[in-house]
Chain A
Amino acid sequence: MKITNLKCAVIANSPVIRITTDAGITGWSQIETPKPYLQPIVLQLRDWLVGQDPRDVERVVRRIRVRGGFKPFGSAVSAIEHALWDIAGKAAGIPVYRLLGGKVRDQVRTYRTLYHQELGVGHSPSDYVKWAQYAKALPEGFTMFKLPTSFHSSMVRDFPGYFYGEVQKDAPFPYPHKGLISEDGFEHLVECVSAAKQELGSGYGLAVDAGPGYLPHDALRFARAVEHLHLLWIEDMITGDYSPYVNHDVYRDVTHGTTTPIHTGEQIYLRQNYKHLIESHAVNVIGPDPCDVGGLAELKWIAEHADLHGIAIAPHGTANGIFGLAALIQVCATLPDNLIAFEYPARFEPFWYDITEGFDGVPVKNGLIDVPDRPGLGVDLLPEKARKYLAEGDADFFD
């Protein structure tokens, strides 16, 4: 079997990849939603893929892996890898999890990141109580939630004097702040997180997405101050989303000073860039994103490496779309027991269920998803229904 073409169309701000073969099998995948600008980078890889046998996934990915980088530059290689697995699974008539070593669980746990703007609240303790109430009432019955706060939220702008640095009013990219947190700001943060956790109670897990932007001693102070809350983890305090580096040694200092689990990794590309984080036990939980780390097989390898070192894994995926959801289910079904849960890609519009086949609406019940058995990744785009969402420049996407 040979790859005949690679196409990429931006549907609702999300680049969707289509790989076609001479056997008539099509592979689908998707890049994180707010990255339409990656379309040219995907297409630039086409010439190195055409003519290759997509079923020898590693052999194909090896040709292009050098053209990835930390988020957002690992997405093209990663999503192409997903589409290759989709083809390989369909060609063999089996779900992708069987090609990744076989599933070890029938249901996969997923956690829900709940953004304040979804329910229109801000960053006060009473807002955080409402946040927790809203979370518990979600129909999918999630058992774990992630709370964006501190430097990972508008708290920096909304709470006067939150930190000693300058507030960046016109920063073009997210998470521009870093600096010492004021004592007032610190107390406010702890009150807010405590309010959310108290409302949730011990029946639900709470993770906190807090950075990047902390100085390490503030990170340690915060992690210690919330130890009694039994958090699932605190994420990305030192480096994280869109940081083009890791600083694993700084993480190690924080991690070894607290019983609150410390988490990072969503922006990291490839196992080599996880090496020091894992081997020096610099965090307790890693959160690679299959759409940024280099793909599903890469994520699985890293999960096993982490397990070898007593580190848990909670894959990132908030914006991975419906194809990213399918991919996360497949790979998470195969991960070792260090899997906590993957982040549910809640940020896609309901119309995606109408233009695809594979999911019968939101697949989450009691915070779990049944692992489906359709061949490939389990989701297919329906050309006749999806066509109307294509931008003008992508009109020939299905041809």
Chain B
Amino acid sequence: MKIIDLKCAVIGKNPIVRILTDEGISGYGEVEQYKPYLKPFVLQFREPLLGADPTDVERTMLRIRQRGAFKPYGSAVSAIEMALWDVAGKAAGVPVYKLLGGKVRDRVRVYNGSLRVPMPGHAPQDYFNEMKRMAALPQGFTIVKQGISFHSPMKREFPNYFYGEVETSSLHGWLDRGPMTERGMNYTLECVAAMKEALGDGIGLALDCGPGWVLPDAIRFARAVEKHHLMWLEDMLTGDYVPFVNADVYRDLTQSTLTPIHTGEQIYLRQNFKDLIERQAVRVVGPDPCDVGGIAELKWIAEYADLHGILMAPHGTGNGVLGMAALVQVCATLPHNFIAFEYPGGDPAWWYDIVDGLPNPIVRDGMIEVWDRPGMGVDLVPELARRYLQEEDIGFFD
């Protein structure tokens, strides 16, 4: 089998990759939303991939893996990898999980990442209400994640939250950073207490809190919330869109507290997890299949983490329904260090109407049942999806 074309269309907010083969099989992969600007990057891989056999996934990836980097520049390579697995699964007539070593569970746990509504404010009561809302969602999530502190408007809205100057750049990443005021710290702790009060001990709470913390504040905070038995604290020091890891600084934080420390969504490839994992620098890693280099790369890292007693909770909030399908496939095969993956959902909601293969409901009791359709198991239906194509992408399904 040979690749005869690679196309990319921005459908809704997500760039979608389509790989076409000489045997009429198409594979789809999805790039995280908010990244429409990556389309030209995806298309650059067209020439390098033409003629390759997509069912030899690794061999094909060896041709292009070099041209990725930390978020957002690992997405093109990653989405292509998932499209290749989709082709390989369809060609063999098996779900992708069977090509990744076989499933070890029939249901995959998800945590709520994407089903959010704008909060009216950022007072403890607002966090309490938001947790009550999440707990009542029909999906029955058993773990939820909430953004606070430097990973939320709190850093700008709460007066004198930290001692640094507030950045005006709207780019996300390591921009607002600095020592926190005592009031800012206490306020954050009040919000956490309110959330725990709302959730009780029946639903796990993870907090996405950075990047932006200085190390001593991070240690102080992680210690102060130990009594709340949190699932993890995410990305306090480096993380989303930070083009490096600083594993040694994470190690100091992790080794100083009982609260599990988590990072990794922006990291590309196993080599860049090495210091984090081998030096016990975190308790949980959260690679995103759409950024780390794909699902086979994610599985390898999960086993690597397991070897070192580190847990795995894959990131995925912006990955869309095709990205969700890929997460289901790979998470069905991960070792017991798997906690749950971050549930993406369809955004806009019409995404649910233009694909084939999703169960209804998708999430039951906080879990997704692993399906058995060949490939990723969720396919775009051209006649339904076509009307959402932008003019320049009109030939996407041809």
Contact = CB atoms under 8 A, between A and B. Distances in A.
A37 B44 contact: yes
Nearest to B293: A244
Contacts of B48: 172-173
Contacts of A65: 174, 243
A40 B274 CA distance: 32
B150 to A, nearest CB: 13
A245 B66 contact: no
B244 A64 contact: no
A73 interface: yes
A63 interface: yes
Contacts of A244: 65-66, 68-69, 74, 268-269, 271-272
B171 A171 contact: no
Interface string A39-69: 0110010001000000000000011111111
B73 interface: yes
Contacts of B244: 269-270, 272-273
B148 interface: no
B383 interface: no
Interface residues of A, number: 36
A318 B62 CA distance: 26
B173 interface: yes
Contacts of A249: 274
Contacts of B64: 172-173
Q: Which of the listed residues B49, B68, B271 has the most CB atoms from chain A within 10 Å of its own CB?
A: B271
Contact of A173 (B63, B246, B274): B63
A125 interface: no
Contacts of B169: 48, 62-64
A247 B275 CA distance: 9
B241 A172 contact: no
Given A68-B243, A70-B69, A272-B244, A176 B63 contact: yes
Interface string B249-290: 000000000000000000011011011000000000000000
A330 to B, nearest CB: 25
B171 A242 contact: no
Contacts of B167: 62-63
B241 A67 contact: yes
B172 interface: yes
A124 interface: no
B171 A176 contact: no
A387 interface: no
B232 interface: no
A44 B245 CA distance: 24
B143 interface: no
Interface residues of B, number: 42
A67 B64 CA distance: 21
B170 interface: yes
A258 interface: no
Contacts of B195: none
Interface in B186-226: none
B175 interface: yes
Contacts of A66: 171-175, 241-243
A242 B44 contact: no
B343 interface: no
B371 to A, nearest CB: 33
A272 B246 contact: yes
A70 B66 CA distance: 10
Interface string A267-297: 0011011011000000000000000000000
Contacts of A194: none
Contacts of B37: 40-41, 44
Given A63-B171, A276-B275, A69 B63 contact: no
Contact of A63 (B67, B74, B175, B245): B175
A289 to B, nearest CB: 15
A356 interface: no
Contacts of B51: 170
B31 to A, nearest CB: 15
Interface in B270-315: 271-272, 274-275
B66 A242 contact: yes
A91 B70 CA distance: 35
Contacts of B275: 276
A107 interface: no
B69 A171 contact: no
B47 interface: yes
A262 B170 CA distance: 41
B243 A245 contact: no
Contact of A247 (B69, B72, B168, B271): B271
A224 B241 CA distance: 41
B40 interface: yes
Contacts of A243: 66
Interface in A222-258: 242-247, 249
Given A44-B37, A62-B175, A172-B47, A69 B66 contact: no
Contacts of B66: 173, 175-176, 242-244
A81 to B, nearest CB: 14
A245 B271 contact: yes
Contact of A69 (B70, B170, B172): B70
Interface of B: 37, 40-41, 44, 47-49, 51, 62-70, 72-74, 167-175, 241-246, 248, 268-269, 271-272, 274-275
5 tightest A-B contacts by CB? A69-B69, A172-B48, A66-B173, A245-B271, A272-B244
12 contacts: A37-B40, A66-B172, A66-B243, A69-B69, A69-B73, A73-B73, A74-B243, A172-B48, A244-B74, A244-B272, A269-B69, A269-B244
